[in-house]
A = this chain, B = another copy of it.
Amino acid sequence: MKHPVPNSALEIRVPFVDTDAMGVVHHSNYIRYLEVARVKFLEEHDMPYVSYLEMGFQFAVTRVDVRYKKVAKFDDRLVVRVWVEWVKNVSLGFAYEVSRGDEIVTLAKTEHASVDNSGTLTRLPKPQRNALRALLARPAD
């Protein structure tokens, strides 16, 4: 699959606890996988999310949209690929692709608001905003 901009890849070996009585990964768990992938992306391409938290910033989740294409099972090896899709002054969006080998398991998008510790909308710090925006203009390797 082709990804438009620099991205990160998180490998997941499906834990047994994530399965449900249908024998497949319960759909709610992918939301957790997306978050772990997003945190990895920030660390690799921007700055660690803990640094945002220490500076008093949070990326509050304002929308999650997940499309489930295939089921996954216990012990499957999944790859969650994540990239930034858009960056505004107080919000940003990520896109995700969860795959197993050549198969796409799940596609997702999330939207986030940049807020301070009191939950008030706050501009992303300029260096971080610029770092994230620069990724949008650069094709993936």
**Residue ranges of A at the interface with B (Cβ–Cβ < 8 Å):** 15-17, 19-24, 26-28, 31-32, 35-36, 39, 48-50, 53, 58, 60-68, 71, 73-75, 119
Contact = CB atoms under 8 A, between A and B. Distances in A.
Contacts of A27: 31, 61, 64
A14 to B, nearest CB: 10
B71 A62 contact: no
Contacts of A68: 60-64
A50 B27 CA distance: 18
Contacts of A73: 21
A112 to B, nearest CB: 10
Contacts of A16: 20-21, 26, 35, 39, 49
